Structure 1
Amino acid sequence: MSTDVPEILLGAQLKMLKLPTVLREHQKLARLCALEGVDHVRYLSRLIEMELIDRERRIVERRIKAARFPAKKTLDSFDFAAIPRLNKMLVLELARCEWIERRENVIALGPSGTGKTHVAIGLGMAACQKGLSVGFTTAAALVSEMIEARDERRLLRFQKQMAAYKLLIIDELGFVPLSKTGAELLFELISQRYERGSTLITSNLPFDEWTETFGSERLTGALLDRMTHHVSILEMNGDSYRLAHSRARKARPTP
Protein backbone atom coordinates (compact mmCIF):
# COMPACT_ATOMS: atom_id res chain seq x y z
CA MET A 1 0.00 0.00 0.00
CA SER A 2 2.83 2.38 0.91
CA THR A 3 4.38 1.96 -2.57
CA ASP A 4 1.25 3.52 -4.08
CA VAL A 5 1.52 6.71 -2.01
CA PRO A 6 4.20 8.47 -4.11
CA GLU A 7 2.28 7.70 -7.30
CA ILE A 8 -0.98 8.98 -5.81
CA LEU A 9 0.77 12.11 -4.56
CA LEU A 10 2.44 12.69 -7.95
CA GLY A 11 -0.90 12.29 -9.72
CA ALA A 12 -2.51 14.88 -7.46
CA GLN A 13 0.38 17.30 -7.99
CA LEU A 14 0.28 16.93 -11.78
CA LYS A 15 -3.46 17.62 -11.73
CA MET A 16 -2.87 20.77 -9.67
CA LEU A 17 -0.19 21.88 -12.13
CA LYS A 18 -2.58 21.11 -15.03
CA LEU A 19 -0.23 18.69 -16.77
CA PRO A 20 -2.67 16.03 -18.05
CA THR A 21 -0.33 14.64 -20.72
CA VAL A 22 2.50 14.16 -18.23
CA LEU A 23 0.03 12.45 -15.88
CA ARG A 24 -1.19 10.15 -18.65
CA GLU A 25 2.15 9.32 -20.27
CA HIS A 26 4.90 9.45 -17.60
CA GLN A 27 4.81 5.78 -16.62
CA LYS A 28 4.67 4.43 -20.17
CA LEU A 29 7.48 6.75 -21.29
CA ALA A 30 9.57 5.86 -18.23
CA ARG A 31 9.40 2.16 -19.15
CA LEU A 32 10.33 2.92 -22.75
CA CYS A 33 13.26 5.13 -21.75
CA ALA A 34 14.50 2.48 -19.33
CA LEU A 35 14.57 -0.06 -22.15
CA GLU A 36 16.43 2.38 -24.40
CA GLY A 37 18.88 3.42 -21.70
CA VAL A 38 17.77 7.06 -21.87
CA ASP A 39 18.95 9.21 -18.96
CA HIS A 40 16.59 11.18 -16.72
CA VAL A 41 17.24 14.53 -18.45
CA ARG A 42 16.26 13.25 -21.89
CA TYR A 43 13.30 11.39 -20.36
CA LEU A 44 12.07 14.62 -18.78
CA SER A 45 12.67 16.54 -22.02
CA ARG A 46 10.58 14.04 -24.01
CA LEU A 47 7.81 14.14 -21.45
CA ILE A 48 7.63 17.95 -21.43
CA GLU A 49 7.70 18.03 -25.24
CA MET A 50 4.70 15.70 -25.30
CA GLU A 51 2.88 18.02 -22.90
CA LEU A 52 3.64 21.09 -25.00
CA ILE A 53 2.51 19.44 -28.24
CA ASP A 54 -0.72 18.24 -26.64
CA ARG A 55 -1.30 21.64 -25.03
CA GLU A 56 -0.97 23.41 -28.39
CA ARG A 57 -3.43 20.92 -29.90
CA ARG A 58 -5.95 21.68 -27.15
CA ILE A 59 -5.50 25.42 -27.63
CA VAL A 60 -6.17 25.08 -31.37
CA GLU A 61 -9.26 22.99 -30.64
CA ARG A 62 -10.55 25.71 -28.32
CA ARG A 63 -10.00 28.36 -31.01
CA ILE A 64 -11.87 26.25 -33.55
CA LYS A 65 -14.74 25.72 -31.10
CA ALA A 66 -14.86 29.44 -30.25
CA ALA A 67 -15.02 30.32 -33.98
CA ARG A 68 -18.39 28.50 -34.24
CA PHE A 69 -17.79 27.04 -37.68
CA PRO A 70 -20.89 25.22 -38.99
CA ALA A 71 -18.62 22.26 -39.89
CA LYS A 72 -14.96 21.34 -39.76
CA LYS A 73 -13.63 21.61 -43.31
CA THR A 74 -10.07 22.02 -44.53
CA LEU A 75 -8.60 23.11 -47.83
CA ASP A 76 -7.04 19.65 -48.18
CA SER A 77 -10.52 18.22 -48.72
CA PHE A 78 -11.58 20.85 -51.26
CA ASP A 79 -11.77 19.70 -54.90
CA PHE A 80 -10.15 22.59 -56.75
CA ALA A 81 -10.60 20.77 -60.08
CA ALA A 82 -14.39 21.14 -59.68
CA ILE A 83 -14.08 24.96 -59.75
CA PRO A 84 -11.40 25.60 -62.43
CA ARG A 85 -11.90 29.38 -62.34
CA LEU A 86 -10.82 29.51 -58.71
CA ASN A 87 -7.19 30.59 -58.33
CA LYS A 88 -5.79 27.66 -56.33
CA MET A 89 -2.38 29.27 -55.83
CA LEU A 90 -4.03 32.37 -54.36
CA VAL A 91 -6.09 30.26 -51.95
CA LEU A 92 -2.99 28.37 -50.80
CA GLU A 93 -1.15 31.66 -50.36
CA LEU A 94 -4.04 32.99 -48.27
CA ALA A 95 -3.82 29.84 -46.12
CA ARG A 96 -0.45 31.12 -44.88
CA CYS A 97 -2.49 33.87 -43.12
CA GLU A 98 -0.04 36.69 -43.81
CA TRP A 99 -2.96 38.73 -45.18
CA ILE A 100 -4.56 38.56 -41.74
CA GLU A 101 -1.42 39.91 -40.13
CA ARG A 102 -1.58 42.76 -42.66
CA ARG A 103 -5.28 43.34 -41.80
CA GLU A 104 -6.42 42.81 -45.37
CA ASN A 105 -9.72 41.35 -46.60
CA VAL A 106 -10.96 38.51 -48.79
CA ILE A 107 -14.20 38.36 -50.79
CA ALA A 108 -15.37 35.09 -52.35
CA LEU A 109 -17.96 35.54 -55.12
CA GLY A 110 -19.94 32.90 -56.94
CA PRO A 111 -23.32 31.19 -57.26
CA SER A 112 -24.72 28.89 -54.63
CA GLY A 113 -23.04 25.51 -54.27
CA THR A 114 -19.59 26.41 -55.61
CA GLY A 115 -17.77 25.87 -52.32
CA LYS A 116 -17.45 29.42 -51.02
CA THR A 117 -18.31 28.39 -47.45
CA HIS A 118 -15.92 25.43 -47.62
CA VAL A 119 -13.03 27.70 -48.67
CA ALA A 120 -13.97 30.29 -46.03
CA ILE A 121 -14.00 27.64 -43.29
CA GLY A 122 -10.73 26.21 -44.60
CA LEU A 123 -9.05 29.61 -44.37
CA GLY A 124 -10.57 30.13 -40.93
CA MET A 125 -9.26 26.75 -39.75
CA ALA A 126 -5.80 27.66 -41.07
CA ALA A 127 -5.94 30.91 -39.07
CA CYS A 128 -6.85 28.97 -35.91
CA GLN A 129 -3.83 26.73 -36.51
CA LYS A 130 -1.67 29.86 -36.75
CA GLY A 131 -2.86 31.06 -33.34
CA LEU A 132 -5.28 33.73 -34.61
CA SER A 133 -8.75 34.38 -33.21
CA VAL A 134 -11.56 33.71 -35.69
CA GLY A 135 -15.30 34.31 -35.68
CA PHE A 136 -17.73 32.77 -38.18
CA THR A 137 -21.30 33.88 -38.82
CA THR A 138 -23.77 34.38 -41.64
CA ALA A 139 -24.74 37.91 -42.66
CA ALA A 140 -28.36 37.32 -41.65
CA ALA A 141 -27.43 35.91 -38.23
CA LEU A 142 -24.94 38.72 -37.58
CA VAL A 143 -27.46 41.43 -38.39
CA SER A 144 -30.10 39.71 -36.26
CA GLU A 145 -27.68 39.55 -33.30
CA MET A 146 -26.75 43.20 -33.69
CA ILE A 147 -30.38 44.33 -33.77
CA GLU A 148 -31.12 42.21 -30.70
CA ALA A 149 -28.04 43.63 -28.94
CA ARG A 150 -29.14 47.16 -29.79
CA ASP A 151 -32.64 46.55 -28.41
CA GLU A 152 -31.10 45.15 -25.20
CA ARG A 153 -28.64 48.06 -24.92
CA ARG A 154 -25.53 45.90 -25.26
CA LEU A 155 -24.67 46.77 -28.86
CA LEU A 156 -21.38 48.45 -27.94
CA ARG A 157 -20.19 45.34 -26.09
CA PHE A 158 -21.20 43.12 -29.00
CA GLN A 159 -19.44 45.38 -31.53
CA LYS A 160 -16.26 45.26 -29.44
CA GLN A 161 -16.47 41.47 -29.38
CA MET A 162 -16.81 41.31 -33.16
CA ALA A 163 -14.08 43.90 -33.70
CA ALA A 164 -11.64 41.91 -31.53
CA TYR A 165 -11.44 38.94 -33.91
CA LYS A 166 -8.28 38.83 -36.00
CA LEU A 167 -10.49 37.31 -38.72
CA LEU A 168 -14.25 37.71 -38.98
CA ILE A 169 -15.94 35.51 -41.60
CA ILE A 170 -19.34 36.75 -42.82
CA ASP A 171 -20.95 34.05 -44.92
CA GLU A 172 -23.88 34.24 -47.35
CA LEU A 173 -24.08 38.00 -47.86
CA GLY A 174 -26.81 38.63 -50.42
CA PHE A 175 -28.99 35.60 -49.73
CA VAL A 176 -31.37 37.73 -47.66
CA PRO A 177 -32.03 41.47 -48.28
CA LEU A 178 -31.22 43.54 -45.20
CA SER A 179 -33.48 46.07 -43.53
CA LYS A 180 -32.29 49.68 -43.47
CA THR A 181 -31.29 49.28 -39.81
CA GLY A 182 -29.55 45.96 -40.47
CA ALA A 183 -27.60 47.37 -43.42
CA GLU A 184 -26.47 50.37 -41.38
CA LEU A 185 -25.37 48.18 -38.46
CA LEU A 186 -23.40 45.86 -40.75
CA PHE A 187 -21.75 48.83 -42.44
CA GLU A 188 -20.83 50.27 -39.04
CA LEU A 189 -19.23 46.98 -37.95
CA ILE A 190 -17.20 46.62 -41.15
CA SER A 191 -16.11 50.24 -40.81
CA GLN A 192 -14.94 49.55 -37.25
CA ARG A 193 -12.85 46.64 -38.51
CA TYR A 194 -11.38 48.60 -41.43
CA GLU A 195 -7.55 48.37 -41.21
CA ARG A 196 -7.91 46.99 -37.65
CA GLY A 197 -8.82 43.37 -38.48
CA SER A 198 -9.42 41.14 -41.49
CA THR A 199 -12.89 40.35 -42.81
CA LEU A 200 -13.77 37.52 -45.19
CA ILE A 201 -17.12 37.82 -46.96
CA THR A 202 -18.78 35.24 -49.19
CA SER A 203 -21.57 36.32 -51.52
CA ASN A 204 -23.65 34.83 -54.30
CA LEU A 205 -24.01 38.29 -55.86
CA PRO A 206 -21.54 40.24 -58.03
CA PHE A 207 -20.57 43.65 -56.66
CA ASP A 208 -22.96 45.54 -58.94
CA GLU A 209 -25.89 43.72 -57.32
CA TRP A 210 -24.93 44.35 -53.68
CA THR A 211 -27.25 47.37 -53.67
CA GLU A 212 -30.14 44.87 -53.71
CA THR A 213 -28.94 43.63 -50.32
CA PHE A 214 -28.10 46.97 -48.71
CA GLY A 215 -30.91 48.95 -50.31
CA SER A 216 -28.77 52.07 -50.77
CA GLU A 217 -26.22 52.90 -53.46
CA ARG A 218 -24.47 55.32 -51.10
CA LEU A 219 -24.12 52.74 -48.33
CA THR A 220 -23.07 49.99 -50.74
CA GLY A 221 -20.45 52.22 -52.33
CA ALA A 222 -19.02 53.24 -48.96
CA LEU A 223 -18.88 49.61 -47.79
CA LEU A 224 -17.20 48.39 -50.98
CA ASP A 225 -14.73 51.26 -50.74
CA ARG A 226 -13.58 49.94 -47.35
CA MET A 227 -13.74 46.24 -48.17
CA THR A 228 -11.88 46.48 -51.48
CA HIS A 229 -9.11 48.85 -50.37
CA HIS A 230 -6.87 45.90 -49.37
CA VAL A 231 -8.57 42.82 -50.79
CA SER A 232 -8.07 39.48 -52.50
CA ILE A 233 -11.05 38.40 -54.60
CA LEU A 234 -11.82 34.72 -55.12
CA GLU A 235 -13.95 34.22 -58.23
CA MET A 236 -15.85 30.96 -57.80
CA ASN A 237 -18.17 30.92 -60.77
CA GLY A 238 -18.99 27.51 -62.19
CA ASP A 239 -21.30 24.55 -61.82
CA SER A 240 -22.53 23.64 -58.37
CA TYR A 241 -19.73 21.97 -56.40
CA ARG A 242 -22.22 20.24 -54.10
CA LEU A 243 -24.39 19.01 -57.00
CA ALA A 244 -21.38 17.56 -58.83
CA HIS A 245 -20.25 15.66 -55.73
CA SER A 246 -23.78 14.41 -55.10
CA ARG A 247 -23.99 13.09 -58.66
CA ALA A 248 -20.56 11.46 -58.32
CA ARG A 249 -21.62 9.64 -55.13
CA LYS A 250 -24.80 8.37 -56.77
CA ALA A 251 -22.87 7.20 -59.83
CA ARG A 252 -20.51 5.01 -57.79
CA PRO A 253 -21.39 1.30 -58.07
CA THR A 254 -22.70 -0.30 -54.90
CA PRO A 255 -20.07 -2.71 -53.48
Structure 2
Amino acid sequence: MLGTEDVKDYLNNSLRELRLPTVKACYEQQAHRARKESLSYERYLAELVELECQERLHRRIERFLRDSRLPLEKDLNSFEMKRLPSRVAANVNALLDGSFLGRAENVLAFGNPGSGKTHLLCAIGQELIYKGYRVRFTPCSLLVQELLLAKQNLRLPRTLKKLSKYDALIIDDIGYVEQNREEMEVLFILLADRYERGSVMITSNLPFSKWERIFKDPMTTAAAIDRLVHHSIILEMNLPSYRLEQSKKSKKH
Protein backbone atom coordinates (compact mmCIF):
# COMPACT_ATOMS: atom_id res chain seq x y z
CA MET A 1 0.00 0.00 0.00
CA LEU A 2 1.32 3.44 -0.92
CA GLY A 3 2.32 5.80 1.86
CA THR A 4 1.19 9.43 1.98
CA GLU A 5 4.28 10.78 0.23
CA ASP A 6 4.16 7.99 -2.34
CA VAL A 7 0.54 8.87 -3.09
CA LYS A 8 1.49 12.51 -3.58
CA ASP A 9 4.35 11.58 -5.89
CA TYR A 10 2.09 9.26 -7.86
CA LEU A 11 -0.62 11.91 -8.17
CA ASN A 12 1.80 14.65 -9.16
CA ASN A 13 3.45 12.51 -11.82
CA SER A 14 0.15 11.18 -13.14
CA LEU A 15 -1.54 14.59 -13.25
CA ARG A 16 1.48 16.01 -15.05
CA GLU A 17 1.29 13.20 -17.59
CA LEU A 18 -2.45 13.74 -18.00
CA ARG A 19 -1.83 17.48 -18.45
CA LEU A 20 -4.07 18.56 -15.60
CA PRO A 21 -1.93 21.36 -14.11
CA THR A 22 -4.74 23.06 -12.19
CA VAL A 23 -5.83 19.82 -10.52
CA LYS A 24 -2.18 19.16 -9.68
CA ALA A 25 -1.80 22.62 -8.14
CA CYS A 26 -5.06 22.54 -6.18
CA TYR A 27 -5.88 18.99 -5.13
CA GLU A 28 -4.16 19.14 -1.73
CA GLN A 29 -5.76 22.43 -0.73
CA GLN A 30 -9.14 21.24 -1.99
CA ALA A 31 -8.73 17.92 -0.15
CA HIS A 32 -8.05 19.80 3.10
CA ARG A 33 -11.19 21.87 2.58
CA ALA A 34 -13.22 18.78 1.66
CA ARG A 35 -12.21 17.05 4.91
CA LYS A 36 -12.95 20.19 6.92
CA GLU A 37 -16.39 20.66 5.33
CA SER A 38 -17.19 16.93 5.10
CA LEU A 39 -17.67 17.09 1.34
CA SER A 40 -18.46 13.89 -0.51
CA TYR A 41 -15.86 12.37 -2.81
CA GLU A 42 -18.01 13.30 -5.78
CA ARG A 43 -18.29 16.94 -4.67
CA TYR A 44 -14.54 17.14 -4.10
CA LEU A 45 -13.85 15.70 -7.55
CA ALA A 46 -16.45 17.95 -9.20
CA GLU A 47 -14.88 21.08 -7.70
CA LEU A 48 -11.43 20.04 -8.88
CA VAL A 49 -12.73 19.42 -12.39
CA GLU A 50 -14.51 22.78 -12.36
CA LEU A 51 -11.28 24.57 -11.41
CA GLU A 52 -9.44 22.84 -14.26
CA CYS A 53 -12.15 23.75 -16.75
CA GLN A 54 -12.24 27.38 -15.62
CA GLU A 55 -8.48 27.73 -15.94
CA ARG A 56 -8.47 26.12 -19.38
CA LEU A 57 -11.22 28.48 -20.51
CA HIS A 58 -9.25 31.44 -19.18
CA ARG A 59 -6.11 30.35 -21.03
CA ARG A 60 -8.06 29.71 -24.22
CA ILE A 61 -9.63 33.17 -24.12
CA GLU A 62 -6.21 34.75 -23.55
CA ARG A 63 -4.85 32.81 -26.53
CA PHE A 64 -7.79 33.80 -28.73
CA LEU A 65 -7.39 37.47 -27.75
CA ARG A 66 -3.69 37.44 -28.68
CA ASP A 67 -4.42 35.65 -31.93
CA SER A 68 -7.27 38.00 -32.85
CA ARG A 69 -5.03 41.06 -33.37
CA LEU A 70 -7.86 43.15 -31.98
CA PRO A 71 -7.00 46.53 -30.45
CA LEU A 72 -8.06 45.50 -26.96
CA GLU A 73 -8.57 49.07 -25.77
CA LYS A 74 -11.60 49.23 -28.08
CA ASP A 75 -14.04 47.38 -25.85
CA LEU A 76 -17.67 47.83 -24.84
CA ASN A 77 -16.76 49.58 -21.61
CA SER A 78 -15.11 52.40 -23.52
CA PHE A 79 -17.80 52.65 -26.21
CA GLU A 80 -20.65 55.13 -25.73
CA MET A 81 -23.66 53.00 -26.59
CA LYS A 82 -25.97 55.94 -25.95
CA ARG A 83 -24.67 57.55 -29.15
CA LEU A 84 -26.20 54.79 -31.23
CA PRO A 85 -29.66 55.03 -32.78
CA SER A 86 -32.06 52.74 -30.93
CA ARG A 87 -32.36 50.35 -33.86
CA VAL A 88 -28.59 49.96 -34.13
CA ALA A 89 -28.29 49.49 -30.36
CA ALA A 90 -30.91 46.74 -30.49
CA ASN A 91 -29.00 45.00 -33.29
CA VAL A 92 -25.76 45.25 -31.33
CA ASN A 93 -27.34 43.67 -28.26
CA ALA A 94 -28.63 40.83 -30.43
CA LEU A 95 -25.17 40.28 -31.91
CA LEU A 96 -23.46 39.87 -28.56
CA ASP A 97 -24.72 36.32 -27.99
CA GLY A 98 -22.86 35.16 -31.10
CA SER A 99 -25.76 33.18 -32.56
CA PHE A 100 -25.34 34.95 -35.91
CA LEU A 101 -21.99 33.19 -36.31
CA GLY A 102 -23.68 29.81 -36.38
CA ARG A 103 -25.78 31.06 -39.28
CA ALA A 104 -22.71 32.51 -41.06
CA GLU A 105 -24.36 35.92 -41.14
CA ASN A 106 -22.35 39.03 -41.89
CA VAL A 107 -22.25 42.35 -40.07
CA LEU A 108 -21.83 45.46 -42.21
CA ALA A 109 -21.19 48.77 -40.44
CA PHE A 110 -21.47 51.91 -42.54
CA GLY A 111 -20.95 55.49 -41.48
CA ASN A 112 -18.87 58.62 -41.58
CA PRO A 113 -15.22 58.66 -40.50
CA GLY A 114 -15.00 58.82 -36.72
CA SER A 115 -18.51 57.50 -36.13
CA GLY A 116 -17.24 54.56 -34.08
CA LYS A 117 -17.64 51.73 -36.60
CA THR A 118 -14.26 50.16 -35.93
CA HIS A 119 -14.55 50.55 -32.17
CA LEU A 120 -17.98 48.95 -32.15
CA LEU A 121 -17.04 45.91 -34.23
CA CYS A 122 -13.84 45.42 -32.24
CA ALA A 123 -15.86 45.56 -29.02
CA ILE A 124 -18.33 43.00 -30.37
CA GLY A 125 -15.38 40.87 -31.48
CA GLN A 126 -13.97 40.82 -27.96
CA GLU A 127 -17.31 39.81 -26.49
CA LEU A 128 -17.53 36.96 -28.99
CA ILE A 129 -14.09 35.74 -27.93
CA TYR A 130 -15.21 35.72 -24.28
CA LYS A 131 -17.99 33.39 -25.41
CA GLY A 132 -15.47 31.02 -26.97
CA TYR A 133 -15.54 32.11 -30.62
CA ARG A 134 -12.46 32.76 -32.72
CA VAL A 135 -12.18 36.23 -34.26
CA ARG A 136 -9.53 37.86 -36.44
CA PHE A 137 -9.23 41.62 -36.98
CA THR A 138 -7.41 43.09 -39.96
CA PRO A 139 -7.41 46.39 -41.84
CA CYS A 140 -8.55 45.77 -45.40
CA SER A 141 -5.33 47.17 -46.86
CA LEU A 142 -3.19 44.67 -44.94
CA LEU A 143 -5.53 41.80 -45.69
CA VAL A 144 -5.37 42.27 -49.45
CA GLN A 145 -1.58 42.45 -49.28
CA GLU A 146 -1.52 39.19 -47.33
CA LEU A 147 -3.82 37.53 -49.86
CA LEU A 148 -1.94 38.91 -52.85
CA LEU A 149 1.39 37.68 -51.51
CA ALA A 150 -0.14 34.27 -50.88
CA LYS A 151 -1.44 34.17 -54.45
CA GLN A 152 1.94 35.13 -55.87
CA ASN A 153 3.57 32.37 -53.82
CA LEU A 154 0.90 29.84 -54.87
CA ARG A 155 -0.31 29.61 -51.27
CA LEU A 156 -3.70 31.29 -51.58
CA PRO A 157 -5.75 28.12 -50.88
CA ARG A 158 -3.64 27.50 -47.77
CA THR A 159 -4.14 31.08 -46.57
CA LEU A 160 -7.89 30.88 -47.16
CA LYS A 161 -7.99 27.65 -45.17
CA LYS A 162 -6.08 29.31 -42.33
CA LEU A 163 -8.56 32.20 -42.27
CA SER A 164 -11.50 29.80 -42.37
CA LYS A 165 -10.72 28.65 -38.81
CA TYR A 166 -12.03 32.00 -37.54
CA ASP A 167 -15.73 32.23 -36.78
CA ALA A 168 -15.64 35.93 -37.65
CA LEU A 169 -13.26 37.93 -39.80
CA ILE A 170 -13.37 41.67 -39.10
CA ILE A 171 -12.27 43.61 -42.19
CA ASP A 172 -11.77 47.24 -41.29
CA ASP A 173 -12.15 50.21 -43.65
CA ILE A 174 -12.94 48.46 -46.91
CA GLY A 175 -12.68 51.04 -49.68
CA TYR A 176 -10.74 53.55 -47.57
CA VAL A 177 -7.47 52.93 -49.40
CA GLU A 178 -7.54 52.72 -53.19
CA GLN A 179 -6.66 49.20 -54.32
CA ASN A 180 -5.77 47.95 -57.77
CA ARG A 181 -7.79 45.33 -59.64
CA GLU A 182 -5.54 42.42 -58.69
CA GLU A 183 -5.82 43.27 -55.00
CA MET A 184 -9.59 43.50 -55.22
CA GLU A 185 -9.76 40.17 -57.03
CA VAL A 186 -8.16 38.36 -54.10
CA LEU A 187 -10.51 40.16 -51.70
CA PHE A 188 -13.47 38.97 -53.75
CA ILE A 189 -12.08 35.42 -53.66
CA LEU A 190 -11.98 35.62 -49.86
CA LEU A 191 -15.56 36.90 -49.63
CA ALA A 192 -16.74 34.19 -52.00
CA ASP A 193 -14.87 31.55 -49.99
CA ARG A 194 -16.58 32.60 -46.75
CA TYR A 195 -20.04 32.94 -48.28
CA GLU A 196 -22.46 30.86 -46.16
CA ARG A 197 -19.45 29.27 -44.44
CA GLY A 198 -18.09 31.96 -42.12
CA SER A 199 -19.08 35.44 -41.00
CA VAL A 200 -17.36 38.62 -42.09
CA MET A 201 -17.74 41.87 -40.18
CA ILE A 202 -16.97 44.88 -42.34
CA THR A 203 -16.62 48.61 -41.75
CA SER A 204 -16.78 51.08 -44.61
CA ASN A 205 -17.22 54.79 -45.21
CA LEU A 206 -18.63 54.03 -48.65
CA PRO A 207 -22.29 53.13 -49.25
CA PHE A 208 -22.97 50.23 -51.61
CA SER A 209 -23.74 52.71 -54.40
CA LYS A 210 -20.03 53.62 -54.47
CA TRP A 211 -18.56 50.13 -54.18
CA GLU A 212 -17.69 50.02 -57.85
CA ARG A 213 -14.70 52.13 -56.78
CA ILE A 214 -13.59 49.12 -54.75
CA PHE A 215 -14.19 46.21 -57.11
CA LYS A 216 -13.56 48.14 -60.33
CA ASP A 217 -16.36 46.70 -62.49
CA PRO A 218 -20.15 46.44 -62.13
CA MET A 219 -20.37 42.64 -62.33
CA THR A 220 -17.82 41.93 -59.59
CA THR A 221 -19.29 44.71 -57.45
CA ALA A 222 -22.79 43.27 -57.74
CA ALA A 223 -21.55 39.75 -56.96
CA ALA A 224 -19.62 40.93 -53.89
CA ILE A 225 -22.56 42.93 -52.52
CA ASP A 226 -24.94 40.04 -53.18
CA ARG A 227 -22.79 37.61 -51.17
CA LEU A 228 -22.38 40.03 -48.29
CA VAL A 229 -25.99 41.18 -48.05
CA HIS A 230 -27.71 37.82 -48.54
CA HIS A 231 -27.28 36.91 -44.87
CA SER A 232 -26.41 40.11 -43.07
CA ILE A 233 -27.09 42.61 -40.32
CA ILE A 234 -26.49 46.19 -41.45
CA LEU A 235 -25.53 48.85 -38.92
CA GLU A 236 -26.12 52.36 -40.26
CA MET A 237 -23.92 54.63 -38.15
CA ASN A 238 -24.34 58.04 -39.73
CA LEU A 239 -23.24 59.80 -36.58
CA PRO A 240 -21.11 62.87 -35.92
CA SER A 241 -17.41 62.13 -35.54
CA TYR A 242 -16.71 60.94 -32.00
CA ARG A 243 -13.11 62.13 -32.29
CA LEU A 244 -14.27 65.59 -33.36
CA GLU A 245 -16.74 65.75 -30.47
CA GLN A 246 -14.02 64.79 -27.99
CA SER A 247 -11.67 67.37 -29.47
CA LYS A 248 -14.28 70.11 -29.06
CA LYS A 249 -14.93 69.06 -25.46
CA SER A 250 -11.23 69.13 -24.59
CA LYS A 251 -10.84 72.62 -26.06
CA LYS A 252 -13.71 73.90 -23.90
CA HIS A 253 -11.86 72.70 -20.82
TM norm structure 1: 0.87
Amino acid at match of 2:155: R
Distance 2:43 2:160 in 1: 49
Are the equivalent residues in 2 in contact too, given 1:85–1:237 (CA < 8 A)? no
Q: Any idea what SS the aligned residue of 2:230 has?
A: coil
Q: C-alpha deviations, 1:192-229, integer Å up to 9, x for none? A: 11112111111122222222233323322221111111
Equivalence map 1:25-44=2 (5 Å): 25-44=26-45
Deviation above 6 Å: which 4+ runs of structure 1?
249-252
Q: Any idea what SS the aligned residue of 1:112 has?
A: coil
Q: C-alpha deviations, 1:54-74, integer Å up to 9, x for none? A: 212222222222222232543
- C-alpha deviation, 1:170, in angstroms: 0.7
The equivalent of 2:193 in structure 1 is 192
Q: 1:85 to 1:237 in 2, by over 3 A?
A: farther
- When structure 1 is superposed on structure 2, of 64-73 and 107-116 the one drifting more is 64-73
Number of aligned pairs?
A: 251
Q: Any idea what SS the aligned residue of 1:228 has?
A: helix
- When structure 1 is superposed on structure 2, of 48-57 and 130-139 the one drifting more is 130-139
Q: C-alpha deviations, 1:72-128, integer Å up to 9, x for none? A: 543344211234476111101011122111111110011222221222122222332
The equivalent of 2:126 in structure 1 is 125
Q: C-alpha deviations, 1:124-145, integer Å up to 9, x for none? A: 2233233333222111111000
2:216 is aligned with 1:215: yes
The equivalent of 1:179 in structure 2 is 180
The equivalent of 1:89 in structure 2 is 90
Equivalence map 1:14-163=2 (5 Å): 14-71=15-72, 73-84=74-85, 87-163=88-164
Distance 1:5 1:249 in 2: 67
Q: 1:242 to 1:85 in 2, by over 3 A?
A: farther
Distance 1:177 1:144 in 2: 13
RMSD over aligned Cα atoms = 2.4
Are the equivalent residues in 2 in contact too, given 1:63–1:133 (CA < 8 A)? yes
Q: C-alpha deviations, 1:36-61, integer Å up to 9, x for none? A: 22233321221111111221222222
The equivalent of 1:225 in structure 2 is 226
Give 5+ residue unaligned stretches, structure 2: none
